[in-house]
Amino acid sequence: MGAKESYSIRPAGRHILTIGRDLIQDRYAAIVELVKNAYDADSPDVNIVFRASPDRKHYSITIEDHGHGMSVDTVINKWMVPSTDDKLKRRKSPGGRIMQGRKGVGRYAASILGDGLLLETVADSEKTTVYIEWSGFEKAQFLDEVEILIESEKTDLPPGTRLVITGGSEFLTEWDQRQFDKLRFELKKLMSPVSSVMSGDEAKDTFRIHLRSENFFEGREEIIDEDVKPYPIFDLFDYRIAGRIGADGKGILTYSLQKARNTTEEKIPFDFGGPTGCGELFFDIRVYDREKESIESLIGRGLKDESGNYVGRLQARQLLNEYNGIGVYRNGFRIRPLGDADFDWLKLNKQRVQNPSMRIGSNQVIGYVQIQSEEQSGLIEKSARDGLRENSAYKNLKDLTKKVITKLEERRFDYRKRAGLSRRTLKVERELERLFSFEELRRGVRSKLKKGEVDKETADEIIRIISKEEENKNRIAEDIRQTVAVYQGQATLGKIINVILHEGRRPLNYFKNQIPNLKYWFNSFREKRDPATLAKIIPITVGIGKNADVFVKLFSRLDPLAAGKRSRKKSLPLRRAIEEVSEVFSGEIKKTGITFKVDGPGDFRFPCWYQDIYAIFTNLIDNSIYWMNEKQIPKKEITVNIATDGNELQFIDYRDTGPGIEPQLIVNEVIFEPQFSTKPDGTGLGLAIAGEASIRNGLDLRAFDSESGAFFRLQPKQEN
């Protein structure tokens, strides 16, 4: 056995470049990291200056702050030591700011910007100067072989820190006007554009970013000198939702509509159904419509460029394209890349593809979520500064943010429908009634004939011709109606495909596992003719028969929805028909502990299409199961009550004990609109199909406000 020896780990010389240059995404991220250091130093501002030499062979970037500076001891033992935990331990700066640069590597981001770094820092009447050439780290085999000269002297200068990054033409060529404008955008998005929702001292704290370039771009003799501020587009939203949600998952959101003549506001109670798992959150999310008229309205409300001129439609679209995104901010600073225009961390575009009328895309929204510290929220920044760690707290943050956005989407959908801004949705039954109704035509023709003094016999003949045409057209309408009904039944079948797969999985697994056993024992019996072997075969065959029966029953229950042709309208035992629909969901109902009950006379028969009764109650039950499970309702119940008066149906009441429906959505009946859905990935077909199926059978399906769950009523249509 060999001798045991201990060794020390010696980082390679280029280790510094790895945690700086190689971990930083781009030049903008590097400057952002250095700006954060100025914030951590309690500086009221930071000045960033770009300069190029007249021959354009050299350039420099100066980043200067007026913070508390660093002593020579701090420079040697903290600033020059990679990955220090000083900011993690302190958490807050001497001035009370929560530290932004917490990983101890941000200062090495300068290596991506140039080949030299000059540090001048003043603290307690002492000036410390450090000069670093990054090439020295490339050449050194080990980190402790790199020598860095540090000078210290007494001074009367005020405290603060000045970084001067220098580089040759190879670094300068990376910057052009387009790149510089991207930096400006990054700096504009760095800090939260609205401070009104910030709490405590953070709302009073100010931090100014000043950007300057002196004859920096080749062929353009100009000086850019500006305070970096967000574009006013943030204030010119069409729709907005904002507010606080506590760590307990409860809060009040405020929905604002600025698109109408008068701005309207609505307070919305919010309940996540339990603790957030990611601390207290503040939301401010603003949405913009992208149609031509909406862009023109945005400009008309005051969208101007930095020179105070109204922007054009193309510029406005470009602003939305580049400035969009929902950022995540901690203590006023954005956590990149969350909020980048090309980083759709909430998958909004995927949802919009599935339901474009209802959902918003990432290029329509500007906003942010303000989160608490890592210790309070569990939301931990990655070391490479590329977002948040994918843990349960981050998952909850995404879920919560999408639920908040859904509240806005519901109200936006309703407004756009009422204002005629959305593409008109075709409701088949209503359109067929309107299209093929000739009564108004008959009245108008008869009136004209009478005024023209046409004799009665001729007038009656003309009316008979119109009535005959009406009969022909109504036969066509009925064919259309029946075809649509078949498609809607098949769409409903598609909605519950998960139920079908779940119901069929058990017998399929039995076949998969037992048929090989059956073959084995059959071959064994054929060879030995042993009665004991036969005893092994019989239970398997019995099981195959039972599981085959499960398939037979499942397919018979689904047959009305899958039928390619409509059966005739029949007088059905209504109670039994509804109970048969519930049997489609028997496995899910049993597994999740739902009680399902139908009350009403068992012998009452109602003339209707069986497929439509299936479509109506399949969609209602599917919604109830989803929402009672989603909200983890402790007592899950679905009740159907059939009320009759002799041979006449009075109404059918359908209730569940789920979270219910928001009163506003009931009043405007938007829940029956195709494409409207409160489910995150919903298509909005369910209740629309149920409504159409009701009309075909002379029924009205309506929702009513209820203190305990959803409440729908089906009742015979009232003749006008």
The string of pLDDT tens digits covering residues 539-583 is 877 777 776 766 666 665 565 555 555 567 889 999 999 998 888
Dig out the tokens for 612 from the structure: 């439509």
Dig out the tokens for 589 from the structure: 């109902």
Dig out the tokens for 104 from the structure: 């101890």
Mean pLDDT of 63-90: 78
Q: In this predicted structure, which of 37-41, 214-218, 372-376, 434-438 has the lowest mean pLDDT?
A: 434-438
Report the alpha-carbon distance of residue 239 to residue 216 in Å, rounded.
Answer: 40
pLDDT on residue 147 = 75
Report the alpha-carbon distance of residue 350 to residue 356 in Å, rounded.
Answer: 10
pLDDT on residue 302 = 79
Confidence of residue 207 (pLDDT cuts 50, 70, 90): confident
Element (H, E) at 576: helix 574-584
Contact 304, 312 (CB under 8 A): no
Of 13-22, 38-47, 394-403, 447-456, the range with the highest mean pLDDT is: 394-403
pLDDT on residue 285 = 95
User: pLDDT at residue 410 above 70?
Assistant: yes
Query: In the predicted model, what is the mean pLDDT of the chain?
Result: 80
Report the alpha-carbon distance of residue 693 to residue 615 in Å, rounded.
Answer: 7
502-515 pLDDT, tens per residue?
Answer: 566 666 666 777 77
pLDDT on residue 567 = 65
Mean pLDDT of 227-238: 82
Of 417-421, 493-497, 598-602, the range with the highest mean pLDDT is: 598-602
pLDDT on residue 234 = 82
pLDDT on residue 206 = 77
Q: Which of 91, 42, 35 is nearest to 63 (CA)?
A: 35
Report the alpha-carbon distance of residue 296 to residue 259 in Å, rounded.
Answer: 12
Contact 167, 115 (CB under 8 A): yes
pLDDT on residue 510 = 66
- Spell out the alpha helix ranges (H) of 680-719: 686-696
Query: In percent, how much of the chain has pLDDT > 70?
Result: 77
pLDDT on residue 97 = 73
The per-residue b/e assignment along 241-275, b for 16 or more CB within 10 angstroms, e otherwise, is bbbbbeeebbbebebbbbbeeeeeeeebebebeee
pLDDT on residue 3 = 62
Report the alpha-carbon distance of residue 348 to residue 641 in Å, rounded.
Answer: 40
Please give the domain boundaries of the chain with CATH numbers for all domains.
Answer: 15-227 (3.30.565.10), 232-381+389-418 (3.30.230), 434-562 (no CATH), 570-716 (3.30.565.10)
Contact 675, 425 (CB under 8 A): yes
Neighbours of 601 (CB within 10 A): 12
Dig out the tokens for 243 from the structure: 């507010």
Report the alpha-carbon distance of residue 360 to residue 329 in Å, rounded.
Answer: 22
User: pLDDT at residue 199 above 60?
Assistant: no
Please give the radius of gyration of the chain, using alpha carbons only, rounded to the nearest integer: 35
Pairing of strands 637-645, 595-599: parallel
Phi, psi of 595, rounded to the nearest 5 degrees:
-95, 125
Chain centre to alpha carbon of residue 424 = 25
Report the alpha-carbon distance of residue 93 to residue 681 in Å, rounded.
Answer: 44
pLDDT on residue 617 = 92
pLDDT on residue 378 = 95
CA distance to 49, 166, 225, 297, 631, per residue, from 222 (Å) = 13, 21, 10, 34, 60
Element (H, E) at 577: helix 574-584
Q: Which of 253, 249, 310, 309 is nearest to 274 (CA)?
A: 249
CA distance from start to end of the chain: 101
Q: Which residue has the higher pLDDT, 284 or 341?
A: 284
Contact 107, 34 (CB under 8 A): yes
672-714 pLDDT, tens per residue?
Answer: 887 788 877 776 777 877 887 888 888 999 999 998 899 999 9
pLDDT on residue 580 = 86
pLDDT on residue 79 = 80
The structure's pTM equals: 0.61
Q: Which residue has the higher pLDDT, 201 or 166?
A: 166
Type of residue numbered 175? W
User: pLDDT at residue 258 above 80?
Assistant: yes
Query: In percent, how much of the chain has pLDDT > 90?
Result: 32
Report the alpha-carbon distance of residue 685 to residue 256 in Å, rounded.
Answer: 27
Contact 378, 387 (CB under 8 A): no
- For 618, the 3-state DSSP assignment is helix
